[in-house]
Amino acid sequence: MKLSALVKDLEFELLSGTLDTEITDITNDSRTVSEGCLFFCIVGALSDGHDYIKSAVEKKAAVLIVQKDIVCPENVTVLKFANTRYAMGMISSAFYGEPSRKLTVIGITGTKGKTTTTYMIREMLLAAGHKTGLIGTIEIIDGKETIASSHTTPESIVLHKKLRDMADNGLDSVVMEVSSQGLMLDRVAGIDFDYGVYTNLSPDHIGPNEHSSFEEYRDCKKKLFSMCREGIFNLDDENAEYMMQGVTCHINTFGKNEAADYVAKGHKLYRENGLLGIEYQLSGRREGHVCVDLPGDFSIYNSLAAIAVADGMQVPFNHILEILKRIKVRGRVEMIPISDAFTLMIDYAHNDMSLKSIILAVREYHPERIVTLFGCGGNRSRDRRFKMGEVSGQLSDLTIITSDNPRKEEPQAIIDDIKTGMQKTDGRYVEIIDRKEAIRYAIMNAQPGDVIILAGKGHEDYQEINGVKHHMDERELIREVLEEEDVTKICGYNNRYFA
């Protein structure tokens, strides 16, 4: 492919060489440069691609995309852009044949709810006969294979390549999580979004190598709505009005607010056979009784967002209702029904805001006790540990403090930080470093009416210790405990999950 075809609509300065150069491949990793390749010099948090120009030239790269002034090597075409990350997205789209234009692309952004809403939408589209891919925090599904995700929103080269794969594999649509980092770093540059969904916003990802302020975080999220044709907004969120101001997309809304296009009224909670759920009456553009086998107010908003997208894509309403009644999302309020007497769930809550949200959602069901099991990651903010300890101490009846990705820190040091937060409260706690033993303690000491929250790991199936990821899946740990213990001693044991 000629370089001229890849950059024809972009602004740049040709520092050396010719646009007639033939391109065989594109990469931003100097280790994968091959003869005839185009190499993007990306300025990252830990390294600068401009430092690897010599290596790329030695491997016979044909083109360099830079954003700094450099001494141009001989026999190499060099193009200077204001932002090589943006250029990478746009050029990647062109190189892979603008695959997003061949798919209906649905992007979900917000602080919470992205993952669950993404899966809800995909299941609804599948039920209606759409061949739908997925890109998100947990995995990428391209129509032929499923691979674990390393980022919520992959780098633009990977993203456009996977969209190309989806189109080639016969898919007609894709639903994807769009993170604030993905928007800030132009990972979604070049994507033609049909729908953009706004779930909610609260302070998160603010700090070194993330966002400098809440305002920057919010504005990065808002970028999605200048990139899509139709924006779907949570009208009840306090930042919704700001997010809708000046956008170029057509606007649809959802919420409990009567002014919304999709309105939830009169919600009720239900609890049966160890499962928690919520139901409400839908009015506005669609009317009917909605049941969601997931707890909490956030399940209302996630389901409304999914309904709005699915309805816009002409999914039959009966399919929408069926999916919501049986939806299960790995690691997102994922209930593991091993007892009729108590509820056991796995949730990804890994900061104080998300932990508070899930505990308060559970509290609405008036459980006898809330037992919260969690740890905190090593080599991360100590403040998060203090805050999570304080939240659990205030809102849980019992906290089991354990280990979660200690990385290169001592697990006990992390637990001691959590206890510092706990000790600001009157909350009861026990500390058990080994996560399997902590889970064993929770199950074997469960009481009728308890809700046990295994927080922090969610979809993760590993424990990171000293730079090495060791396989560890909480579902497998639960199974092992059940196999090792006398299950007649487990309160209300009636295993419907591993049977």
pLDDT tens digit string along 206-264? 555 665 687 888 888 999 999 999 999 999 999 999 999 999 999 999 999 999 999 99
Cβ atoms of residues 364 and 276 within 8 Å: no
Q: What percent of the chain has pLDDT over 90?
A: 88
CATH code of the region 3-95: 3.40.1390.10
Residue 203 has pLDDT above 80, yes or no: no
Is residue 20 packed enough to be buried (19+ CB in 10 Å), middle (13-18) or exposed (0-12)? exposed
Parallel, antiparallel or unpaired: strands 462-465 and 468-471:
antiparallel
- Note the CATH architecture for domain 334-489: Alpha-Beta Complex (3.90)
**Other residues' Cβ atoms within 10 Å of the Cβ of residue 315:** 22
Backbone angles phi, psi at 360, to 5 degrees: -65, -35
Distances (CA, A) of 193 to 104, 127, 289, 428: 7, 22, 30, 48
Residue 205 has pLDDT above 70, yes or no: no
Q: Where are the domains of the chain?
A: 3-95, 99-326, 334-489
Q: CA geometry: angle at 389 spanning 387 and 394, to 5°?
A: 95
- Which residues, in sequence order, are bridge partners of residue 38? 26, 63
**Mean pLDDT, to the nearest integer, of 287-312?**
95
pTM: 0.90
**Mean pLDDT, to the nearest integer, of 298-304?**
96
**Mean pLDDT, to the nearest integer, of 79-107?**
98
**Cα separation of 53 and 69, whole Å?**
12
Is residue 275 packed enough to be buried (19+ CB in 10 Å), middle (13-18) or exposed (0-12)? middle
**Other residues' Cβ atoms within 10 Å of the Cβ of residue 100:** 22
pLDDT digits (tens, 9 = 90+) for 395-435: 999 999 999 999 999 999 999 999 999 999 999 999 999 99
Predicted confidence band of residue 273 (pLDDT cuts 50, 70, 90): confident
What's CA 201's distance to the chain center, in Å?
14
> What confidence score (pLDDT) does residue 37 get?
97
List all residues 6 or more positions away from 205 whose beta carbon is below 8 Å from its beta carbon: 180, 181, 211, 217
pLDDT digits (tens, 9 = 90+) for 472-484: 999 999 999 999 9
> What confidence score (pLDDT) does residue 420 get?
97
- Note the CATH architecture for domain 99-326: 3-Layer(aba) Sandwich (3.40)
